[in-house]
Amino acid sequence: MKKRFLIGTSAAVVAALTLLLGGVLATDPAAKPPARPAPAVLAERAFAGFSPGNTQAEILRLRDESRATDTAQAYALLGLAYQQRARETADTRDYARSERALRAALERDSANVYALGGLGALALSRHRFRDALALGRRAQRLSPTTARTYGVTGDALVELGRYDEAFAAYDRMAALKPGLSAYARVSHARELRGDRRGAARAMQLAVDAAGSQPEPLAWARVQLGKLHFSRGRPGAAAREYRAALAAFPGYVQALDALARVEAARGPLGRAIELERDAVERSPLPELVGYLGDLYRAQGRPPLAREQYELVGAIEKLLVANGVRTDLETALFDVDHGLRLDAALVRARRAHSERPSIQSDDVLSWALARTGRCGEALRFSTRALRLGTLDAPTYFHRGMIERCLGRHGRAKRWFRDALALNPHFSLRWSPVARRLAR
């Protein structure tokens, strides 16, 4: 029998494997660039979503190279480098630049797997999952043994709610090329199935596979830390986040994650300092929104409102650059009690585009917050169908049960959410503690 790697990965969104897989600029753009790796190594690293070193310098080199050589490979690498810079700076205008370069590569070689895979990864970043699936499968037909294309299709299938197919794609990727990217996806699949210990073991393999590469090591340690945090182990999480910062100083994901640990521990001053640093480096909506939540919890509503307004402005920029944000915007608005009827419309639209357990949960939460509790229960049940142990999803179910007048059941869901992670939300964990009594 063929060995399967998954057996038994968080409802971490695909962004953790695409949009947020990178970090801040690896080196100062003004610094002397390091020795350039071989093109094949550059392609593999860029396709995985990690910086080749100095991303800005690499873009300038690849611009010159693509003009001078006019080759598909140079344009493909340039397209991937633009995606890396978008991850580092949160400037989604680089998505359009990436697409132009990748399509230029395909004009020169319609069978360039890196260009096709890069377009698939770009579609994932833009939350266009059906497009990503089609591109990933096209790349697989051309090169069935290129492991990373199975990551693209697997990620798309997860967001489309086609989990058995997604996990099979991840298994195939791991069989073809065990390594950081494959182990991370195995971890994600195990977490989705409720196997949190197995997820942590697979992510530890990803940490080990990163070796001494600064950004990959930092990324993998942050993901391992998030698994610890989701299990209510902030101390273990903090150790991983600090190790990530030691490997890659200023790493945005580690700053944000460590801010959440500090917020869980008590006084918010240090958490705000860390989150502000993360936002200044990469103003992504989830970071800006969390900074607003920190200000709100600290009793500074004007500063919180400024951040919430900034979230809206950033989301408009994302939409203008081809990113579908319905699910994320709906969740933010529902969580913060903003434009609830419009948020429900967004949640329904997102659910039709990406019918995953995550969109089931967001739609159930939007329905509950607008008083449609019977319908909310149906989607909440779907959100839990894989056995995922996710504290926010449990909390939402508790609120739905309470809305239906079933207070005993509601209290059990609140207690279970807190048992999974007593610090699952700066805003909602205190509510769960109060209602669980």
Does 264 reside within a domain? no
Does 422 reside within a domain? yes
Among residues 155, 177, 206, the one where a domain terminates is 206
Does 263 reside within a domain? no
Which has more pLDDT, 292 or 213?
Answer: 292
Residue 48, pLDDT above cutoff 80? no
Residue whose tokens read 């580092």: 88
Residue 39, pLDDT above cutoff 60? no
Cβ 357 vs Cβ 386: under 8 Å: yes
Radius of gyration of the chain (CA): 21
Predicted confidence band at 69 (pLDDT cuts at 50, 70, 90)?
very high
Taking phi first (over 0 means left), then psi (-120 to 50 degrees means alpha), and beta for anything else, what does residue 266 get? left
- Given this model, what pLDDT does residue 92 score? 85
Predicted confidence band at 36 (pLDDT cuts at 50, 70, 90)?
low
Task: Quote the tokens at residue 273.
Answer: 């300092």
- Given this model, what pLDDT does residue 147 score? 93
- Given this model, what pLDDT does residue 262 score? 97
- Given this model, what pLDDT does residue 89 score? 81
Does 280 reside within a domain? no
Which has more pLDDT, 122 or 54?
Answer: 122
**Number of C-beta neighbours around residue 336 at 10 A:** 18
Residue 8, pLDDT above cutoff 80? no
Residue numbers of the domain that contains 116: 1-27+39-206
Least confident window among 68-77, 82-91, 95-104, 378-387: 82-91
If one counts the domains in the chain, the total is 2
pTM (two decimals): 0.86
pLDDT tens for each residue of 307-352: 999 999 999 999 998 999 999 999 999 999 999 999 999 999 999 9
- Given this model, what pLDDT does residue 13 score? 30
- Given this model, what pLDDT does residue 54 score? 78
- C-alpha–C-alpha distance, residues 48 and 54, integer Å: 16
Does 314 reside within a domain? no
Among residues 180, 206, 232, the one where a domain terminates is 206
Cβ 224 vs Cβ 240: under 8 Å: yes
Task: Quote the tokens at residue 191.
Answer: 């977490």
Mean pLDDT for the stretch of residues 267-296: 96
Mean pLDDT for the stretch of residues 364-389: 98
Residue whose tokens read 């709906």: 330
Does 328 reside within a domain? no
- Given this model, what pLDDT does residue 56 score? 87
How does the average pLDDT of the chain come out, rounded? 89
Which amino acid is located at 213 in the chain?
Answer: Q
Task: Quote the tokens at residue 323.
Answer: 């990113």
- C-alpha–C-alpha distance, residues 38 and 382, integer Å: 47
Taking phi first (over 0 means left), then psi (-120 to 50 degrees means alpha), and beta for anything else, what does residue 70 get? left
Q: In whole angstroms, how far apart are CA 270 and each of 259, 273, 291? A: 7, 5, 12
Does 363 reside within a domain? yes
Q: What is the CATH number of the domain that holds 4?
A: 1.25.40.10
- Given this model, what pLDDT does residue 371 score? 96
Mean pLDDT for the stretch of residues 365-376: 97
Does 10 reside within a domain? yes
Among residues 178, 206, 234, the one where a domain terminates is 206
